[in-house]
Amino acid sequence: MRYWLWMLSVIAADAIAAEHKFSGIVDIRASYTDGIDTYVDGGLGKFRFDQGSQLSIAQAGVSYELDWDNPLSAQITANGYLDGVNDNLGITEAFINYRGLPFENGLRLQAKFGLMYPNISLENIATAWSSPYTLSYSAINSWLGEEFRHIGVEFSVERLGKMSNSPHDFALSATLFQHNDTAGAMLAWHGWTNSSRQTLLQETLPLSNMPSLQNGTLTKQAQASDPFIELDNRLGYHAKGQWRYKGQGELSIGYYDNNANTRVVEKGQYAWLTRFIHIDNKWHLPYNILLLAQYMHGDTLMQSPDGRDIVDNQYQAAYLLLSRRWQQHRLSVRLEKFDVTDNDATADDNNNERGYAVTASYQYRLTKGWYLQAEYNRIDSIRAARVEQGLPYDLIEQQWQLASRWYF
């Protein structure tokens, strides 16, 4: 991974006739959480803050872009958190982008190479992967932020309808990647969350105090998961098709498979075979209401080196977000449903989970880049694994957040 970052900086340093651009976000947040200790620091709480009140720099993100006069550009993004849970600073994305000019028939080729997110989230479209709608992301995108990043190359072919006076655009993309071999571990062991953290390149993710780690089935598993490690030297892939209707919205369907070899384990890091399908819809409804809806359904498998299934989970999550802006006011409401179904026979590792989440967020724009935002989050879930750690099976967690977000 370091080699690729080094390559990127060499190419960037060789820049001629390029525009340098910095953009960023500083999110200062006061929050009160009514729940249990956060998953970020080895708890099973579904929010990023511990029980109680917290003043934090919830996100300090900066993105540096080099934009050459040709169709190439390069971008590196760093994020920092000072939140009393896990204060840290690091790289979250670094890639080179090629965006060709459309041909006369409307075809356009694009390629992206480097450390990047799989192109799935409809929420995280603003600077440094922040969301313009809510402070805490949906369960689907919180999971992407935590366990998904890869080094790979993404190719896409688009057909722009405007060249033929058609309102329809179509896009197909295919990504080949490595360095995402443990994806699935955190979903299995702490379940779905509503978070606004992104795992930094150098970070590992502490597991909760599961009895199976101490003297059970999982004693060989490391105490923290290394999410962006390459274990089996196999390529994973992500394919996605998209239809866009001019001025109205877009509909995508995609399939992700990290193609991990589950027989590989190194220093307590197991390769998890994680696959899912995702369907994403963004649409402009009447009365200027924006609809975002995403659905994800998949499975993840972790095996012992001799091929026994240790974790075999099915999971799904969906959210529906409605957002409307009135001049400097924006109101967003999100409803979610999620579950994990444990299909393996490992007695001391029950990953079953089921839950609902509600988010209501109000944003007020003070100046061009300065937003005040108030948000309420509520997650109502049942999770068997909480009982093993003396926590309630059925739990309602709530969170109130007040943020000043400055974009530049």
Partner 1 sequence: MLLAQRCDEYQLDKEVVVSNKSINKRLALIFALMISTVNTALAQGVTITNSDGDAMTGMVVYLHGASSHQPNDNAIREPIEIHQNNKQFTPYITVIQKGYELQFVNDDDITHHIYSASGPKRFSFKLRKDNAQQAMLFDQVGHISMGCNIHDWMSGHLLVVDTPYFGVTDTNGFIDFESVPPGQYQVVIWHPQLLSQDNLVTVESQWPLARALTITVDAPMADIPSQQSLDDFEFLEGY
Least separation, in Å, of the C-beta of 247 and partner 1?
Answer: 6
The DSSP symbol for 38 reads B
Q: What angle do CA 165, 167, 173 make, to 5 degrees?
A: 110
In the complex with partner 1, the residue whose CB is nearer, 110 or 314, is: 110
The region of 121-129, 143-151, 193-201, 352-360 touching partner 1 under the rule CB under 8 A is 121-129
Taking alpha carbons only, the member of 225, 197, 43 closest to residue 124 is 197
| Dihedral pair phi/psi, residue 388, rounded to 5° | -60, -25
| Dihedral pair phi/psi, residue 376, rounded to 5° | -120, 130
Quick check: 162 binds partner 1 (CB under 8 A)? yes
Least separation, in Å, of the C-beta of 187 and partner 1?
Answer: 22
In the complex with partner 1, the residue whose CB is nearer, 25 or 293, is: 25
What is the C-alpha to C-alpha distance for residues 217 and 215, in angstroms, rounded to an integer?
A: 7
Per-residue binding letters, 301-340, with partner 1 (x by CB under 8 A): ------------------------x---------------
Stretch 281-300 residues interacting with partner 1 (CB under 8 A): 282, 284
* 240 neighbors 119 (Cβ within 8 angstroms): yes
Quick check: 165 binds partner 1 (CB under 8 A)? yes
Distance between start and end Cα atoms, the chain: 29
- Joined together, the tokens standing for residue 46 give 């579904």
Least separation, in Å, of the C-beta of 147 and partner 1?
Answer: 18
Please report where in the chains the tokens 């499975």 appear, as a residue. Answer: 299
What is the C-alpha to C-alpha distance for residues 124 and 102, in angstroms, rounded to an integer?
A: 26
Near partner 1 by CB under 8 A: residue from 79, 127, 156, 258: 127
In the complex with partner 1, the residue whose CB is nearer, 33 or 363, is: 363
Least separation, in Å, of the C-beta of 127 and partner 1?
Answer: 5
What is the C-alpha to C-alpha distance for residues 184 and 192, in angstroms, rounded to an integer?
A: 11
Near partner 1 by CB under 8 A: residue from 41, 67, 257, 266: 67
Least separation, in Å, of the C-beta of 121 and partner 1?
Answer: 7
The region of 61-69, 254-262, 334-342, 394-402 touching partner 1 under the rule CB under 8 A is 61-69
In the complex with partner 1, the residue whose CB is nearer, 103 or 243, is: 103
Quick check: 394 binds partner 1 (CB under 8 A)? no
Least separation, in Å, of the C-beta of 122 and partner 1?
Answer: 9
Least separation, in Å, of the C-beta of 328 and partner 1?
Answer: 12
Quick check: 19 binds partner 1 (CB under 8 A)? yes
For the chain, give the number of residues.
Answer: 408
Q: Measured between alpha carbons, how far is residue 298 from residues 203, 256, 284, 312, 313 in Å?
A: 25, 9, 28, 11, 8
What is the C-alpha to C-alpha distance for residues 291 and 264, in angstroms, rounded to an integer?
A: 42
Per-residue binding letters, 234-273, with partner 1 (x by CB under 8 A): ------------xxxxx-----------------------
What is the C-alpha to C-alpha distance for residues 137 and 127, in angstroms, rounded to an integer?
A: 14
Quick check: 132 binds partner 1 (CB under 8 A)? yes
Where b means 16+ CB within 10 Å and e means fewer, 322-347 reads bbeeeeeebebbbbbbbbbebebebe
Quick check: 138 binds partner 1 (CB under 8 A)? no
Quick check: 156 binds partner 1 (CB under 8 A)? no
Near partner 1 by CB under 8 A: residue from 104, 214, 215, 267: 104
Count of residues interacting with partner 1 (CB under 8 A): 41
Least separation, in Å, of the C-beta of 320 and partner 1?
Answer: 17
Tell me which H or E stretch contains 211: helix 211-215
* 41 neighbors 11 (Cβ within 8 angstroms): no
Please report where in the chains the tokens 């089935």 appear, as a residue. Answer: 217
Residues binding partner 1 (CB under 8 A): 19, 21, 23, 25, 63, 67, 69, 71, 99, 101-104, 106, 108, 117, 119, 121, 124-129, 132, 160, 162-163, 165, 169, 246-250, 282, 284, 325, 368-369, 407
